[in-house]
Amino acid sequence: MRILLKLSGEALAGEKKTGFDEETVLMVARQVKEIVDRGTEVGIVIGGGNFWRGRTSENIDRTKADQIGMLATVMNCIYVSEIFRSVGLETNILTPFEVGSFTKLFSKDRANKYFKRGQVVFFAGGTGHPYFSTDTPSVLRAIEIDADVVLLAKSIDGVYSDDPKKNPNAVKYDEISINDVIAQNLQVVDMTASILARDNKVPMWIFPLFEENSIVNTLYGEFNGTKITV
Protein backbone atom coordinates (compact mmCIF):
# COMPACT_ATOMS: atom_id res chain seq x y z
CA MET A 1 0.00 0.00 0.00
CA ARG A 2 1.18 3.51 -0.80
CA ILE A 3 -0.21 6.54 1.02
CA LEU A 4 0.18 10.31 0.89
CA LEU A 5 0.12 11.79 4.40
CA LYS A 6 -0.70 15.48 4.66
CA LEU A 7 0.40 17.23 7.86
CA SER A 8 -0.29 20.84 8.73
CA GLY A 9 2.59 23.04 9.82
CA GLU A 10 0.49 24.32 12.72
CA ALA A 11 -0.02 20.77 13.98
CA LEU A 12 3.73 20.21 14.12
CA ALA A 13 4.11 23.36 16.20
CA GLY A 14 1.95 21.89 18.96
CA GLU A 15 0.63 24.32 21.56
CA LYS A 16 3.32 26.87 20.67
CA LYS A 17 1.51 27.51 17.34
CA THR A 18 4.80 28.48 15.68
CA GLY A 19 8.08 26.75 14.95
CA PHE A 20 8.34 23.07 15.93
CA ASP A 21 7.31 20.97 18.88
CA GLU A 22 9.83 18.13 18.86
CA GLU A 23 7.70 15.74 20.90
CA THR A 24 4.85 16.12 18.40
CA VAL A 25 7.15 15.46 15.47
CA LEU A 26 8.66 12.45 17.25
CA MET A 27 5.16 11.10 17.86
CA VAL A 28 4.49 11.29 14.13
CA ALA A 29 7.90 9.82 13.27
CA ARG A 30 7.46 6.77 15.49
CA GLN A 31 4.06 6.02 13.98
CA VAL A 32 5.34 6.41 10.42
CA LYS A 33 8.23 4.08 11.34
CA GLU A 34 5.70 1.47 12.44
CA ILE A 35 3.62 1.62 9.26
CA VAL A 36 6.74 1.59 7.05
CA ASP A 37 7.97 -1.47 8.95
CA ARG A 38 4.62 -3.09 8.11
CA GLY A 39 5.26 -2.51 4.41
CA THR A 40 3.40 0.74 3.73
CA GLU A 41 5.07 3.21 1.36
CA VAL A 42 4.73 6.77 2.67
CA GLY A 43 4.87 10.13 0.90
CA ILE A 44 4.42 13.27 3.00
CA VAL A 45 3.34 16.84 2.32
CA ILE A 46 3.67 19.41 5.10
CA GLY A 47 2.06 22.84 5.18
CA GLY A 48 3.98 25.97 6.12
CA GLY A 49 1.53 27.60 8.54
CA ASN A 50 3.83 27.33 11.54
CA PHE A 51 6.08 29.90 9.84
CA TRP A 52 3.99 31.71 7.26
CA ARG A 53 0.30 31.79 6.52
CA GLY A 54 -0.71 33.52 3.32
CA ARG A 55 -0.40 37.17 2.53
CA THR A 56 0.10 38.96 5.83
CA SER A 57 0.52 42.49 4.51
CA GLU A 58 -0.86 44.59 1.66
CA ASN A 59 2.75 45.67 1.08
CA ILE A 60 3.72 42.16 -0.07
CA ASP A 61 2.72 40.90 -3.49
CA ARG A 62 0.59 37.73 -3.39
CA THR A 63 3.03 35.84 -5.62
CA LYS A 64 5.95 36.71 -3.33
CA ALA A 65 3.91 35.83 -0.25
CA ASP A 66 3.16 32.40 -1.70
CA GLN A 67 6.83 31.90 -2.54
CA ILE A 68 7.67 32.53 1.10
CA GLY A 69 5.10 29.90 2.02
CA MET A 70 6.68 27.41 -0.37
CA LEU A 71 10.06 27.93 1.28
CA ALA A 72 8.44 27.44 4.69
CA THR A 73 7.32 23.98 3.58
CA VAL A 74 10.91 23.19 2.52
CA MET A 75 12.17 24.15 5.99
CA ASN A 76 9.50 21.98 7.57
CA CYS A 77 10.38 18.98 5.46
CA ILE A 78 14.11 19.30 6.18
CA TYR A 79 13.43 19.43 9.92
CA VAL A 80 10.86 16.65 10.00
CA SER A 81 12.92 14.37 7.74
CA GLU A 82 15.83 14.67 10.19
CA ILE A 83 13.58 13.72 13.11
CA PHE A 84 12.37 10.75 11.05
CA ARG A 85 15.97 9.70 10.49
CA SER A 86 16.60 9.82 14.23
CA VAL A 87 14.07 6.99 14.71
CA GLY A 88 15.63 4.85 12.00
CA LEU A 89 13.82 5.89 8.84
CA GLU A 90 15.49 6.73 5.53
CA THR A 91 14.17 9.86 3.83
CA ASN A 92 14.45 12.05 0.76
CA ILE A 93 13.00 15.46 -0.05
CA LEU A 94 11.73 16.35 -3.52
CA THR A 95 10.78 19.85 -4.69
CA PRO A 96 9.42 21.24 -7.98
CA PHE A 97 12.23 23.82 -8.09
CA GLU A 98 15.96 23.89 -7.35
CA VAL A 99 16.95 24.40 -3.70
CA GLY A 100 20.68 23.96 -4.10
CA SER A 101 21.88 20.71 -2.53
CA PHE A 102 19.12 20.72 0.11
CA THR A 103 16.59 18.79 -1.98
CA LYS A 104 16.25 16.96 -5.28
CA LEU A 105 13.95 17.86 -8.16
CA PHE A 106 10.66 15.99 -8.20
CA SER A 107 10.00 13.32 -10.78
CA LYS A 108 7.73 10.30 -10.57
CA ASP A 109 10.60 7.99 -11.49
CA ARG A 110 12.78 9.41 -8.72
CA ALA A 111 9.97 9.09 -6.16
CA ASN A 112 9.30 5.49 -7.19
CA LYS A 113 13.01 4.68 -6.86
CA TYR A 114 13.01 5.96 -3.29
CA PHE A 115 9.81 4.11 -2.42
CA LYS A 116 11.32 0.85 -3.65
CA ARG A 117 14.23 1.44 -1.25
CA GLY A 118 11.79 1.73 1.64
CA GLN A 119 12.38 5.44 2.06
CA VAL A 120 9.85 8.06 3.19
CA VAL A 121 9.54 10.70 0.48
CA PHE A 122 8.77 14.31 1.42
CA PHE A 123 7.20 16.52 -1.23
CA ALA A 124 8.07 20.12 -0.37
CA GLY A 125 7.56 23.42 -2.16
CA GLY A 126 3.94 22.92 -3.14
CA THR A 127 3.34 22.96 -6.89
CA GLY A 128 6.08 25.54 -7.37
CA HIS A 129 3.45 28.09 -8.37
CA PRO A 130 1.51 30.71 -6.39
CA TYR A 131 -2.24 30.74 -5.69
CA PHE A 132 -2.38 27.15 -4.43
CA SER A 133 -2.65 25.95 -0.86
CA THR A 134 -0.80 22.77 0.13
CA ASP A 135 -4.05 20.83 -0.29
CA THR A 136 -3.67 20.89 -4.06
CA PRO A 137 -0.09 19.55 -4.23
CA SER A 138 -1.09 16.87 -1.70
CA VAL A 139 -3.71 15.49 -4.07
CA LEU A 140 -1.57 16.20 -7.13
CA ARG A 141 1.41 14.26 -5.78
CA ALA A 142 -0.90 11.45 -4.68
CA ILE A 143 -2.15 11.16 -8.25
CA GLU A 144 1.35 11.30 -9.72
CA ILE A 145 2.76 8.60 -7.42
CA ASP A 146 -0.34 6.36 -7.70
CA ALA A 147 -1.11 6.57 -3.98
CA ASP A 148 -4.00 4.46 -2.75
CA VAL A 149 -5.32 7.15 -0.41
CA VAL A 150 -4.60 10.62 0.94
CA LEU A 151 -4.54 10.77 4.73
CA LEU A 152 -5.33 14.23 6.09
CA ALA A 153 -4.18 14.61 9.71
CA LYS A 154 -6.28 17.36 11.25
CA SER A 155 -6.97 19.00 14.59
CA ILE A 156 -10.62 17.89 14.29
CA ASP A 157 -11.95 14.34 14.11
CA GLY A 158 -13.60 14.41 10.69
CA VAL A 159 -15.95 16.17 8.32
CA TYR A 160 -19.02 17.90 9.72
CA SER A 161 -22.16 19.31 8.10
CA ASP A 162 -21.23 22.69 9.61
CA ASP A 163 -18.54 24.20 11.82
CA PRO A 164 -18.95 22.27 15.10
CA LYS A 165 -17.37 25.15 17.04
CA LYS A 166 -20.15 27.46 15.90
CA ASN A 167 -23.03 25.03 15.48
CA PRO A 168 -23.56 22.45 18.26
CA ASN A 169 -26.02 20.63 16.01
CA ALA A 170 -23.44 19.98 13.29
CA VAL A 171 -23.41 16.32 12.26
CA LYS A 172 -20.20 14.37 11.77
CA TYR A 173 -20.02 12.16 8.69
CA ASP A 174 -18.39 8.74 9.00
CA GLU A 175 -18.37 8.59 5.21
CA ILE A 176 -19.26 11.09 2.50
CA SER A 177 -18.72 11.24 -1.24
CA ILE A 178 -16.40 13.80 -2.79
CA ASN A 179 -19.36 14.96 -4.92
CA ASP A 180 -21.30 15.82 -1.76
CA VAL A 181 -18.26 17.59 -0.29
CA ILE A 182 -18.08 19.76 -3.41
CA ALA A 183 -21.85 20.32 -3.68
CA GLN A 184 -22.14 21.34 -0.02
CA ASN A 185 -18.92 23.40 -0.16
CA LEU A 186 -17.72 21.75 3.04
CA GLN A 187 -14.17 23.09 2.56
CA VAL A 188 -12.46 19.96 3.77
CA VAL A 189 -9.70 20.83 1.36
CA ASP A 190 -9.65 23.64 -1.17
CA MET A 191 -11.92 23.32 -4.20
CA THR A 192 -9.08 22.69 -6.66
CA ALA A 193 -7.90 19.74 -4.57
CA SER A 194 -11.46 18.40 -4.24
CA ILE A 195 -12.03 18.48 -8.00
CA LEU A 196 -8.64 16.84 -8.65
CA ALA A 197 -9.52 14.08 -6.20
CA ARG A 198 -12.94 13.58 -7.78
CA ASP A 199 -11.72 13.52 -11.37
CA ASN A 200 -8.85 11.14 -10.60
CA LYS A 201 -10.72 8.98 -8.09
CA VAL A 202 -8.41 9.59 -5.12
CA PRO A 203 -10.09 8.80 -1.77
CA MET A 204 -9.27 10.96 1.25
CA TRP A 205 -9.44 9.94 4.89
CA ILE A 206 -9.58 12.68 7.52
CA PHE A 207 -8.63 11.83 11.09
CA PRO A 208 -7.56 13.57 14.32
CA LEU A 209 -3.76 13.68 14.51
CA PHE A 210 -3.56 14.08 18.28
CA GLU A 211 -5.51 11.00 19.27
CA GLU A 212 -3.20 8.28 20.57
CA ASN A 213 -1.57 6.23 17.80
CA SER A 214 -3.91 7.89 15.29
CA ILE A 215 -1.86 7.30 12.13
CA VAL A 216 -1.32 3.61 12.85
CA ASN A 217 -4.96 3.13 13.86
CA THR A 218 -6.19 4.87 10.73
CA LEU A 219 -4.46 2.25 8.59
CA TYR A 220 -4.43 -0.84 10.78
CA GLY A 221 -6.80 -0.33 13.69
CA GLU A 222 -10.00 1.46 14.57
CA PHE A 223 -10.57 4.39 12.24
CA ASN A 224 -12.01 7.47 13.96
CA GLY A 225 -12.56 10.02 11.26
CA THR A 226 -14.33 10.53 7.95
CA LYS A 227 -13.75 8.64 4.73
CA ILE A 228 -14.33 10.70 1.60
CA THR A 229 -15.22 8.32 -1.20
CA VAL A 230 -14.91 8.80 -4.96
- Supply the pLDDT for residue 17: 73
Give the whole-angstrom CA distance, residue 126 versus residue 136: 8
pLDDT of residue 168: 86
Q: Is 174 helix (H, G, I), strand (E, B) or coil?
A: coil
* pLDDT value of position 14: 77
Domain ranges of the chain: 2-224
Distance, in Å, from the CA atom of 207 to the CA atom of 223, rounded to the nearest integer, reads 8
Q: Supply the pLDDT for residue 11.
A: 82
CA distances (Å), 27 to each of 24, 164, 213, in order? 5, 27, 8
Q: Letter for the amino acid at 186? A: L
The string of pLDDT tens digits covering residues 48-100 is: 888 887 766 778 899 999 999 999 999 999 999 999 999 999 999 999 999 99
Partners of 19 in beta bridges? none
> What's the pTM?
0.93
H or E element at residue 109: helix 108-116
CATH 3.40.50.620 applies to domain 2-224: no
Q: Tell me how far apart the alpha carbons of residues 227 and 92 are, in angstroms, rounded to a whole number.
A: 29
CB 171 within 8 A of CB 160: yes
The per-residue pLDDT string of the chain (230 residues; one tens digit each, 9 = 90 and over) reads 999 999 988 888 877 778 888 999 999 999 999 999 999 999 999 998 888 877 667 788 999 999 999 999 999 999 999 999 999 999 999 999 999 999 999 999 999 999 999 999 999 999 999 999 899 999 999 999 999 999 999 888 889 988 888 888 989 999 999 999 999 988 888 899 999 999 999 999 999 888 899 999 999 988 889 999 98
Q: Give the residues across from 45 on adjacent strands.
A: 6
* Measured CA distances, 216 to 23, 31, 211 (Å): 17, 6, 11
